[in-house]
Amino acid sequence: MKKTNIALFSLLCLSIASCGFEEMPFDKYDQEFIFSTDVKAEGYVLSVYTGLPYDKTDENGYNRVDGAMLSSATDESAHTVPGSTIIYLTQGSLTSRNANPDGCWEDNYMFIRDALIGLEGIDELPDSDEDLKVQLRAELKFLQAWYYFELVKRYGGVPILDHPYELSEDLNVPRSSFADCINHIVTLCDEASQGLPEPSITSFGRASKGAALALKARALLYAASPLFNGPGYDGTVNEFICYGEYSPERWEAAAEAAADVIKMNYYDIYAPSAINDSDSDDKVIENGSSNYRKLFNVITGNKELVLSRTSKAGNQVEKDNFPVGITNGKGLTSPSQQMVNAYGMVDGLAIDDLEGSTYDPQNPYSNRDPRFYASIFYNGEDWAGTTIETWEGGMHNNTETSTLTGYYLSKFCAEEVVISGTQTNTNHCFPLIRYAEVLLNYAEAVNEVSGPDTDPYNCGMTARDALKKVRGRVLRPSQTDVKVASGDKEGMREAIKAERRVELAFEDHRYYDLKRWKDAEDVLNANIAGMRILKNGDTFQYEPVDNVESRTFSTKFYLYPIPNDDVVNNSAIKSNNPLW
């Protein structure tokens, strides 16, 4: 066995501290020591999970982009506090020589190498539990697939490693084509699914068969999307950034993969409070917003979580997001007016529905989609006995660090948490994959295959049904359908995009959705809008503001540049991505 020194093994104590390894200098041990017992080997595998997103969930949650949320590189929000390098993305100033705040090249290859070391080591385990060895191998293959997918969605085709390279070897490994990378990810997911356990409500942080199948479905959805399924964003057939030609079979593969997750008949939308057709608007809002908010704070019994990072009980998420004006509240994220307008009404209609919307521009926060109330701090809201004041000069909008848009982010926050004086804590859950996304992935893919109202993969669900299932968490059963005619593929495509925008808001999806749909040049070049609110006695005047923050998105940003040092030092990578 190779005597490879494993520095990352020092993270073992974070995962299984009870095993008695806390005082050992793990960075001084080699593979022979680490893979001498099942317990040590399992600890090593757990350490490879630490490369997954939101690694310090008790400290920053989704604020992983140099203190900002990735949502603030989209039309979802703006980062309130200046100084974050997220401006490299919002202002188009990223170069291959900058440290990309959303990059992952070096870290992901480190974890891919660690996974490959683990696969070698597990094969050498003496007198091991064979079932455990099968599971650990499968977990490492899943983790490789995850890290490769995160690379591919950012950079296109990347080098594929077939063993853990040593410094003494030729490290000039060429990029594989985009197609080969997707095939590799799919193969890893397929192999992982054969050895991973069935999903369980007690193992959210470790991969299951469902997680492997869902990751496969996500990768295939991206591969089928316009950014990759045809010529490249630069108009060429460059094999590293696209397939070169369109194929409807890619949508079929994505739809079938998502259907396989649905057919497991395990996962469900988390909705502990039932909503009935006879419920009043107030009751629908109460139960719907509670269902949605608790999704991110309740772990036990939550069968929507396919794969999740959870944190120790804390209140940093609340401190980062509670409005300025609440003691210790930083209000780092200002949701945009575009995002607020995306939330429909409590009856399921869009605010600009010409035939039935009850939206009132001078009472804009009345009778909205319950997810609005579970996501946005807005003027006049009652939050834990405090009335939110985002009118100019109000308690929560009177400093240079106050909201930029008239709103703060309340999604992921727990109302009962106290962040000053005698502070209190709560659990937080940051889904990496959840069932609502799986349903939306399926809806998007199957609609492209055969329209909104067919079930070609016999999973008991059409694209329309999938949307109704997601919307059913927060709306009356009779109002969960979308206003799309039977057979209207184009109309359903837009409805799916709209639903995805609301359901998955602020969860790191929007930026990459806009890019894979090739909508980014239209959407991300628009200025961030907000709401100016003026108080006159006991009344308020609401004035939309079109230019809270300017934005720039150029064509080359559809894929990131490979870090310049990696291009220079790897002679097998002939050039960077187009236009960089």
Distances (CA, A) of 437 to 221, 311, 575: 11, 21, 35
Predicted confidence (pLDDT) per residue in 300-340, tens digit: 889 999 999 887 889 999 999 999 999 999 999 999 999 99
Tokens of 314: 């804390």
Does residue 245 register a pLDDT over 50?
Answer: yes
Give whole-number Cα distances, 537 to 265, 365, 395, in Å.
56, 19, 15
Nearest to 124 by CA among 30, 27, 8: 30
Once rounded to an integer, what is the mean pLDDT over residues 409-435?
A: 95
Mean pLDDT value across residues 244-260: 98
Question: Is pLDDT of 364 > 90?
Answer: yes
Query: 58 is written with which tokens?
Result: 């008790």
pLDDT of residue 555: 98
Q: What does the pLDDT read at residue 111?
A: 97
- Residue 533 gets which letter from DSSP? E
Between strands 382-383 and 376-377, the pairing is unpaired
Give the whole-angstrom CA distance, residue 434 versus residue 192. Answer: 19
SS3 at position 269: coil
CB 181 within 8 A of CB 240: no
Beta bridge partners of 429: 310
The pair of three-digit structure tokens given for residue 25, joined into one six-digit string: 């200098």
| Tokens 């999307």 found at | 225
Cβ neighbours of residue 187 closer than 8 Å, sequence gap 6 or more: none
Q: Which of 522, 433, 449 is nearest to 53 (CA)?
A: 433
Nearest CA to 381 among 392, 366, 369, 371? Answer: 366
At residue 122, what is the residue type? I
Q: At what angle do helices 209-224 and 249-262 cross, to 10 degrees?
A: 160
How high does pLDDT run on average in the chain? Answer: 93
Angle at 410 between CA 407 and CA 412, to 5 degrees: 150
Taking residues 530-553, what's their average pLDDT?
Answer: 97
Task: Flag whether pLDDT at 106 surpasses 90.
Answer: yes
SS3 label, residue 400: coil
The residue type of 498 is: A
Q: What confidence category does residue 203 fall into, taking pLDDT thresholds of 50, 70 and 90?
A: confident
* pLDDT, average across residues 385-398: 98
How confident is the model over 338-347, as a mean pLDDT? 98
d(CA 193, CA 142) in angstroms, rounded, equals: 8
Separation between Cα atoms, residue 70 and residue 90, nearest integer Å = 10
| Apex 330 CA angle, 328 and 331, nearest 5 | 135
Backbone angles phi, psi at 124, to 5 degrees: -100, 5
Segment 457-505, tens digit of pLDDT: 999 999 999 999 999 999 999 999 999 999 999 999 999 999 999 999 9
376-377/539-549 β-pairing: unpaired
The H-or-E segment that residue 261 falls in is helix 249-262
Q: Where are the alpha helices (DSSP H) in 263-314?
A: 281-294
Residue 300 to residue 451: CA distance in whole angstroms: 37
Q: Give the pLDDT confidence of 57-66 residue by residue, as tens digits.
A: 666 678 999 9
Residue 342, both tokens? 């995306």
Report the C-alpha gap between 113 and 160 in whole angstroms.
11
Each residue's pLDDT tens digit, 561-576: 999 999 999 999 999 9
Q: Are 391 and 535 in contact (CB under 8 A)?
A: yes
pLDDT at 24 over 80: no
Q: What's the alpha-carbon Rg for the chain, to the nearest Å?
A: 24
How confident is the model at residue 30, as a pLDDT?
80
The pLDDT of residue 551 is above 50 = yes
Question: Tell me, what's the pLDDT at 28?
Answer: 55
| Single-letter code of the amino acid located at 175 | R
Q: According to the model, what pLDDT value does residue 13 have?
A: 32
162: tokens are 């077939």
Question: 561: how many CB neighbours lie within 10 A of its CB?
Answer: 24
Alpha carbon distance 142, 212 (integer Å): 6
Complete DSSP assignment for 126-176: TT--HHHHHHHHHHHHHHHHHHHHHHHHHHSS----SS---TTS---PPPP
